Amino acid sequence: MTEIADLSAVELSKQIQAKVLSPVEVTEAILTRIDQRTDLNAFITVCADKARAEAKAAEGKVMQGGELPPLLGIPYSVKDLVNTAGVRTTMGSKLFENNVPKEDGVAVARARAAGAILVGKTTTPEFGHVQSATSPLFGRTLNPIDPTATPGASSAGAAVAVAAGMGPIALGTDGGGSIRIPAACCGVIGFKATLGVIPHLQLPDLFGANSYVGPMARTVADVALLFKAIAGPDARDPYGQPASQLHGASDVSLKGLRVAFIANGGARVEREVAAVTGRAVEKIAGEGALVEEAEIDFKSYEPVFLTMLRVGLAARAGPAVKGREHLVAKSLVDTIAVGETYSGVALSQATNARTVLFQEFQQLFERFDVIVSPTLTAPPLPIAVDATGDIMIDGHNEGTVRGAWYPFTYPQNLTGHPAISIPSGRTARGLPVGLHICAPWYRDWALLRIAAEVEQVLT
């Protein structure tokens, strides 16, 4: 029999609402799994007592009958960059080790209103600043598929928790691929919605926003279930206004779907990843999709992404770090120091380039419905890789981890387009490979429908 902790959120919801399983049983199963998998170090904080109390209350609602919230009794976790009322939110840093917010982030508040039960806060490098699943606060998070390989970052703990059955759904954040990268590394689903569709009011600059909150799960259906609960306008978000209505997905099918396949994006793609991705694209074409190769030199936009990342960290985290550098990772100190050297002109040039990249996407979307690529250029990197150094791909030094390993993910953070990573296969060593699918603004539901169909084809 499948253990309760391994059931999907969709199945758990059905069984809870049918009174086959109780929220108390489900929550206990997830908390037990968390206790069993402490070796993975996916959680900074586990709020077991709070979760049990919420599960008991949810059980009472089930027994009362009537219409129930869509996520009632479903345990979930939240990356420790997102505020949770009454539960500490550390930003993955010793600087905020005892920080307890008074209010939930928007996505958390909406998940709570839909009945989801928070079981804990998952690991992230400090302020999500680097592609490494480590921090002076919590140590290192391990990949449940292969502990010698990175689980990806910065939503490391969220991806690991979902992959290992420590909750069927999770909330991560994505500032350059930080939902989609660990999803690809851990063989799960990670979704970054259109800018503003899931409001993220913790950002100090909402007009120049490039960081997103989004759902992670083991199936596209579970991602969609959580997305439905947390998506929607918020008058406080300049991109989250009621006029920005999401398009439906009733007209979506792989048959006749116009697919732009970007095989490398200006970067070197490792042979096995290229082969797995190629086979996945062939299967999509076999279902009637109209696939054509296309090209955008994503890798050339690395300096643009780095300018915005470094300047943003210097402005946001710099004041908190100043005078307490000994408490944080050297990579964060170095990133802030570099960010402080950029001029206003350099930042303006980066935002101008962001506009050019957006227009490149829009030109492709005049001819295509979606853009498909590998999620990453190589399988999960070694666990101890220097996230600020260079990487080797097929025996070649390809430059920095950011530019050489995930050139397919940070462009959508700059342009605001929705994107999702789904499993597309495995290497000979058994490491997961992700397929990345991107759609036009506000075609989030269409993208999820397409991803669900591709998931069926590739499973």
**Active site residue ranges:** 79, 154, 178
Those residues with Cβ within 8 angstroms of residue 234's Cβ, 6 or more apart along the chain or in another chain: 106, 199, 201, 240
Helix axes 330-339, 302-316, angle to 10 degrees: 100
Count each helix (H run) and each strand (E run) in the chain, helices first: 15, 15
Q: Are 437 and 419 in contact (CB under 8 A)?
A: yes
Q: Which helix (H) or strand (E) holds 419?
A: strand 419-426
H helix runs in 366-443, sequence order: 401-405, 410-415
Backbone dihedral angles phi then psi of residue 171, each to the nearest 5 degrees:
-105, 125
How far is residue 375 CA from its own chain's centroid? 12
Burial grade of 349 (CB within 10 A; 0-12, 13-18, 19 or more): middle
Respond yes or no on whether the N-terminal peptide bond of residue 22 is cis (omega within 30° of 0): no
- What six digits make up the tokens of 175? 């500032």
| Nearest in space to 44 (alpha carbons), one of 102, 93, 105, 112 | 93
How far is residue 193 CA from its own chain's centroid? 10
| Nearest in space to 262 (alpha carbons), one of 436, 399, 419 | 436
How far is residue 433 CA from its own chain's centroid? 15
**Can you tell me whether residue 21 is helix, strand or coil?**
coil
Residue 180: CA atoms inside 13 Å, Cβ hemisphere, count? Answer: 33
Report the DSSP pairing between strands 169-174 and 390-393.
unpaired
| Nearest in space to 228 (alpha carbons), one of 63, 103, 115 | 115
Residue 226: CA atoms inside 13 Å, Cβ hemisphere, count? Answer: 36
